[in-house]
Structure 1
Amino acid sequence: MSPTAASATTGLLPEFVAPAINGTDRTFSLYVHVPFCVSRCGYCDFNTYISPDLGPGASHDSYADTAIKELEYAADTMERSGVDAKPLHSVFFGGGTPTLLQASDLTKILERAQQLFGITAEAEITTEANPDSLTADSVKTLADGGFNRISMGMQSSVSHVLQVLERTHDPANVATAAQWIRDANLDMSLDLIFGTPGESLQDWQNSLDAVLELQPEHVSAYGLIVEEGTKLAAQIRRGVYPNTDPDDQADKYLATEERLAAAGYRWYEISNWAFDPHDQGIHQSQHNLAYWRDQDWWGIGPGAHSHMAGVRWWNAKHPAAYASRIIDGLSPAIGHEIPDHDARLLEQIMLGVRLAEGLDTSVLTSQEQTVADRAQHETELLAAQGLIEAAALHRGKIVPTLKGRLLDDAITRRLAGF
């Protein structure tokens, strides 16, 4: 039975889910989507809304209570589906801008999650934030309420780049907010975007300088993707801005790796680096690793996606529709899928070759013989071409080289037989 079919009847997960989870070492995480923003950035295609009040249960003031109702629904569904209680491995509040809500509302949601599921002692508990949405008091409230990590959307330190992206924060406020995070003894991650139209290589170097000066525990750096339907895509189409340049983005990625590696940061996923000068595997985002390692998570909020033992489902996208279902005691889920073998294999390959820990070659060699033979041939070619590490391949791992990281999609297509 699908989550959608279950919403108005039994409220159960499919029968195979509990046996696939119970008694295993699969981790369980929680994602909480907060859909509110002060303004909509021109490049953004996330499920976000500017209005602070979108109806009953979908306003800044009422959202925490709505999210808590879904938490309670999730706990009840799991219990009645026979899924053994398992404490949360990580919690991540994303958006949108979660810190547009009162910090006390975020901690209230976290506290209810703790009551319903439990949280492991070493759990990573993160909220995203914009620099202008934080205050010294709100950061302290988050720390006192159990958060131990803030992921701040910096994107760039250069004003004209932020203007193209339509980011509204003052670049100077990043350092101020970073100091509040430090004062509260929280870990800090900074999110960057490179390859914005009009951004020079020196602009990007200046942003890297600003990041290294703040010494975050973690850095995420993504090449700008111009999503269809966004304001930026329309501006590029009209010739207001030039399109992104893959060669320019490659140069900036290489500069990022060079600068961060020299400062003691280790890449562990193509777009993510953790401060780890002694290569101990510290400061990596445990929540994102749970996604990349195909673990289990429940997504709370409008448009949020969930995954339990191969079953995926997603909530009503608009906050008003989402809140209405929650208030009526229905599942907020409106769609689901159970990927078939080929889709699961493609996803394993795609995610595995993004990680420094690599993809186990057994994922490929355990396939039907012709598939396994072709994949083995491709891995040997990829190693000979310097796209994957030959030494790692001898250990049974497929790990991209620096050159391979720039051609990650091609590696995935070749291993998957496209």
Structure 2
Amino acid sequence: MTRLSPADLLSLGSLGIRTRRLRAALSALGIALGIATVVVVTGIPASSQHALLDELTALGTNLLRAQPAPRQEDPVLLPEASVAMVRRIAPVTAAAAVANTHVRVRRNDLLDPGHSSDITVLATTPNLLETVNGRVQSGEFLPRPDFPSVVLGHVAAARLGIQDVGEQPAVFVGDRWFTVVGVLDPMPLAPDIERSVLVGWEAARTSLGFDGHPTVVYVKAHEESIEDVRAVLPATLHGEIPGLVQVSRPSDALAAKRATQNSYTALFLGLAGVALLVGGVGVANTMVISVLERRSEIGLRRALGATRGHIRAQFLTEAVLLSGLGGLAGTVLGAAGVAGYSALHRWPLVIPLPVLVSGVLAAFVVGATAGLYPSIRAARLTPTRALSA
């Protein structure tokens, strides 16, 4: 028995597509719409979810705050190496510290030294903004931590009457001038930083008499391990009496974020499956009609020596090619739709790679399934019966 080479099989399978282009295009359109629906109904919710999760993350879902418990006598001092100690906890991704220097800040040196504007002067480690998701509104964040310069929290800047650093303003901290190099954006989740003037850790040591003991340690960790990190923080910072360290509980936004991650998948995949099924029915219908219309061609090929296997392989290949082309077109169409919709809403573009791959594979599977009956029906036609039609 003569066997068809893959090239010959591909040529025969594409014959019906090449000779009946409009019908093939309309049939492939059904599959394309089904696959496009798969991509759209997974990509748009995924992009929306990613945008929502980013907003929830900005609320501090992975942030903890550790500080000494208040005591009337013998106040608790956190170790000077607190940040380095915390960073050794495996799930921790960032850690920073601030410390109250207990000095006053004034707009100029002519004001009464006893003047109070409820602004705290905090010594800070360089990576504070990275840890607490803060941003600089004007200027930069302490480019030289050992230099007498400050960054103003949003509220502190308003109270001092400084909104930008274009003219290099200065404030009087303790008994010397400090250059203002930056102003922060609002940070409602960290009101203590909003109302503070931030000084570099080394500059606070050399210019303000700071002793190096942190007042608050901010810790960022992987969300799935945030409770575990919270449990070990007190012992890490104060091994002798862990109860003397207070650690904030995880943000309520974390629970909302975890609930959001599993809220939509089943519904949208069900809708996509229905759309793909409709496309498969369209391909099956097209292939059945193609067999009926091409009975004389089938009869002629059988009379010239084509076997039932050849006929079956030809029409099955045609169905798979038809669905495959529709699947590729639908993937591109769906991805373009998701990209456009995400750009319109300013969401990050998220299209799960497994969805793209499985969409194309699903198209081939649908094509093979839809073409199975028509190919078997075509193969059953005898040469005399096909030519007499």
TM-score (norm 1): 0.20
Which has the larger share of strand?
A: 1
Q: Which has the higher helix share?
A: 2
